[in-house]
Amino acid sequence: MKLILFDVDGTLVDSQNVIAASIGAAFHAYDMEPPSRQRSLSIVGLSLVEAFTVLAGPKAPVEGLAQAYKEAYTVLHLDPANAAPLYPGAGECITRLKDEGNALLGLATGKSRKGVVRLIAQHGWDGVFSTTQTADDAPSKPHPAMILQAMEELGVAPADTMMVGDSSYDMAMARAAGVMPVGVSWGFQPVAALNEAGAGLIVDSYAELKPVLQAFLS
């Protein structure tokens, strides 16, 4: 059976408001000037410590910033203004793949395991994903460990694995793991960045992704 791995933020879930707000709150907690919204979203996909190292520099209190982000996120995600809905067609795509039963599904995300558990409960996805790889389980993207661990866990070969994501980190991770990288254009990074990182192809909607998945599974 083949394996389809999905990134979460920017791919399945439009979480840009709560992420940008939480990054801003973390910087303010340390009396630091927060980055622009665009720059804040450019690091989505990295683990928190790695993300804050990129945003604030290696000499910044990155561990503290990461903790401040977690604390802010816990509060801010409850605000309706910071809702993180599924992208159009995402829920239907996951449900269809699960119901058809001819693919294993997984998540490979820079979110914490706690965040993934919350996401799965929120969308009624219990039992949907055969593997969930998080920032708590592996080095930060673009290191291939998340994908390698998922394949080993499920006994699937690289040739039978696809990674769907919105960032250059997802594409580079997929390339490093030897699996098929599929980029999505609706996320947090420009299409040019995905192409430069080695996207095999890029889709503009879940409707466009459907035939790509069908061809991969045939």
In three-state secondary structure terms, 164 is strand
The reported pLDDT for the residue numbered 163 is 99
Contact in structure between 52 and 70 (CB atoms under 8 Å): no
Contact in structure between 137 and 149 (CB atoms under 8 Å): yes
* pLDDT band, very low/low/confident/very high, at 80 (cuts 50, 70, 90): confident
| Residue corresponding to tokens 């933020």 | 9
- The C-alpha atoms of residue 92 and residue 207 are separated, in whole angstroms, by 10
Domains of the chain: 2-14+85-217 (3.40.50.1000), 16-82 (1.10.150)
Average pLDDT, integer, range 64-80 = 91
Burial 194-212 (b: 16+ CB within 10 A, else e): beebebbebbeebeebbeb
Of the given ranges (3-7, 74-78, 93-97), which has the lowest mean pLDDT? 74-78
In three-state secondary structure terms, 67 is helix
Q: Residue 158: how many CB atoms within 10 A of its CB?
A: 15
- The C-alpha atoms of residue 109 and residue 151 are separated, in whole angstroms, by 15
Kindly tell me if the per-residue pLDDT of 84 is higher than 90: no
Contact in structure between 113 and 137 (CB atoms under 8 Å): yes
Please write the tens of the pLDDT for every residue from 180-191: 999 999 999 999
- The C-alpha atoms of residue 175 and residue 21 are separated, in whole angstroms, by 31
Please write the tens of the pLDDT for every residue from 101-153: 999 999 999 999 998 998 999 899 999 999 999 999 999 999 999 999 999 99
Q: What is the CA 192 to chain-centroid distance, rounded?
A: 18
